[in-house]
Amino acid sequence: MKIETLPIGLYGENSYILHDNGHVLFIDPGRFAQELAQHVGADETVDGILLTHGHVDHTGAVDDLYEIYHCPVYLHEGDFEMVNPANGKSAYSTPVYCPLNPLTAGNMKIGTFDLEIIPTPGHSKGSVLIRYRNRIFSGDTLFAGSIGRTDLFGGDETEMVDSLRLIKERLTDDLWVYPGHGDATTIGQEKKTNPFLIYQRANLF
């Protein structure tokens, strides 16, 4: 397994490319589809494009990558409205025109990848964690030392508190976290140092 982290999206968003046994997943491809495609080998198969949520800095390259690979694209249904072309473009979202498949809670097999999808609404209605083996792609739910905003479209402080409680109580310390912005961390490190996991009070944010 190899994970490439490419902070090339808007606001320094991390676009991830997950490689394993000749197969590839794109996770939150923010911009520059052609640059992302250069990281896929000629002998590799792209099994899908996965989105932790629907904000534009995480979705900007989706349609262009779909045109290159014609692979399935996955997003939680809670954010389908956000990227619906009928709703136009907003400050934090832009339409996604390719067909969308729902990310559903629990175990999902996408191509050769056995994944666990953990809904974590709060930053947006459709925010999820995507787990592969001992790696978690957390989108804008959890960062190293911080969390995502709750004042954007679909955000909700109460839901974020519940999602953080789920993370603290359910996820083990040894899991690596690859966030939508900033450096990788671990669940154990965040339980020790992230004030939003330590205190879990809505009035902190």
Q: Which residue has the tokens 């996991």?
A: 197
Cα dihedral across residues 170, 176, 179, 181: positive or negative: positive
Q: Which pLDDT belongs to residue 200?
A: 58
Task: Classify 122 as helix, strand or coil.
Answer: coil
Domain 2-204 indexed as CATH 3.60.15.10 = yes
Query: For the CA atoms of 157, 85, 75, 51, what is the dihedral angle to 10 degrees?
Result: -80
The confidence band for 164, taking pLDDT boundaries of 50, 70 and 90, is very high
> Does residue 89 carry a pLDDT above 90?
no
Among 175, 173, 188, smallest CA distance to 138 is for 175
Q: How many CA atoms lie within 13 A of 164 on its CB side?
A: 31
Q: Which pLDDT belongs to residue 118?
A: 98
> Does residue 203 carry a pLDDT above 50?
no
Q: Which pLDDT belongs to residue 91?
A: 65
Checking DSSP bridges between strand 15-20 and strand 2-6, what pairing results, if any?
antiparallel
